[in-house]
Chain A
Amino acid sequence: GQSLEQPSEVTAVEGAIVQINCTYQTSGFYGLSWYQQHDGGAPTFLSYNALDGLEETGRFSSFLSRSDSYGYLLLQELQMKDSASYFCAVPSGGYQKVTFGTGTKLQVIP
C-alpha cells in the first residue's frame, strides 16, 4: 500500500517563507507531486519531482529525497491568496491512480 503523512495545519505570516513536509511509504515509487486546493475549489497541480533535488517554479519550490522517502514544498514571499490546503501525492506509474496525502491547511496571516 501507499501512505503519505503531512502536518495538518501550518500558520505563517504574509511575506515569510513556509515549508510543508511530506513523508511517504510506497510500494514502487515514481515521483512526488504537489497540489493546491482552495476551500470549495478543485485541486490544482503545482509540481512534480521524479529525481532527488530541488525544483523551482516562481515562488514555489519542491524538494525530494528518495533515500529518505521525504519531500517538501517551499513557499516564498507568502501572499494571502496562498491560504489553501496543500497535498503531496504519489502517482502509480502505469496506471493513473494517484494517492494523496492527508493535506496541510496553510493559513497566511497579516
Chain B
Amino acid sequence: DAGVTQSPTHLIKTRGQQVTLRCSPISGHKSVSWYQQVLGQGPQFIFQYYEKEERGRGNFPDRFSARQFPNYSSELNVNALLLGDSALYLCASISGGQSNYGYTFGSGTRLTVV
C-alpha cells in the first residue's frame, strides 16, 4: 500500500505569489491534516479535514485555505506568499476521526519563498 503522498517535494516561489500543495492520504483513510514546520520547530497545525468537511483550523491567516476532494485527497493553498511562509508543509492521514493512535505523515513539501 502506498503511504501518504505529497507533491511537489520542493518548491521555490517569489513573495506575493500563490502556491498549491497536494496530498493523497493512505487508501481507506478519510481524514487529512496539514501542518507547517519551520526549521528547528515542531509542526504547527493548519487544517484538518474529515469526510470532506473542515473540522479544525489552526492559528493561521486567511491567506491559507484548503479543501478535500471526494477521493479524500486534499490541496493546501497559500496566497500572497511571505518570506515567513518558507517551511516544510506536512500532510498526515488517519483512518477515522480520532488522532489518538498516531498520524502517518507524508514526506512533505519544502517551500522556499524568496
Chain A residues proximal to chain B, CB less than 8 Å: 30-31, 33, 35, 41-45, 48, 50, 87, 89, 91-103
Asked, given contacts A31-B100, A91-B99, whether A99 binds B45 with beta carbons under 8 Å apart, the answer is yes
Contact A95 B100 (CB under 8 A): no
Give the residues in chain B near A95, CB-CB below 8 Å: 48, 55-56, 97, 99
| Complexed CA–CA distance, A33 and B100 (Å) | 8
Given A96-B31, A97-B48, A103-B42, A45 and B102 contact (CB-CB distance below 8 Å): yes
Q: What are the residues of chain A within 8 A of B98 when measuring CB–CB?
A: 91, 93-94, 96
Sample (26) of A-B pairs whose CB atoms are under 8 Å apart:
A31-B100, A35-B102, A41-B107, A42-B90, A42-B105, A42-B107, A43-B43, A43-B103, A45-B102, A45-B103, A48-B101, A48-B102, A87-B43, A89-B42, A91-B98, A92-B56, A95-B48, A96-B56, A96-B94, A96-B98, A96-B99, A96-B103, A97-B45, A97-B56, A97-B58, A98-B99
With a cutoff of 8 Å between Cβ atoms, the chain A residues found around residue B45 in the complex are 97-99
Counted as pairs of residues, one from A and one from B, with CB atoms less than 8 Å apart, the total is 73
Query: What is the predominant secondary structure among interface residues of chain B facing chain A?
Result: loop
The 5 closest A-B pairs by CB, nearest first: A45-B102, A100-B42, A91-B99, A42-B105, A95-B56
* Pairwise interchain contact A33-B31, C-beta atoms closer than 8 A: no
- Which residues of B from 30 to 63 have beta carbons under 8 Å from A? 31, 33, 40-45, 48, 50, 55-56, 58
A94–chain B nearest beta-carbon distance, Å: 7
B residues within 8 A CB of A101? 42
Chain A residues lying within 8 Å of B48, measured Cβ to Cβ, are 95-97
Q: Is the CB of A96 within 8 A of B43?
A: no
Of all chain A residues, which has the CB nearest B44? A100
Point out the residues of chain B lying under 8 angstroms from A44, CB to CB. Answer: 105
Q: How far is the CA of A31 from the CA of B98 in the complex (A)?
A: 12
Whose C-beta in chain B lies nearest to the C-beta of A88?
A: B42
User: CA separation between A87 and B90, bound complex, in Å?
Assistant: 15
Q: Which residue of B lies closest to A103 (CB)?
A: B42
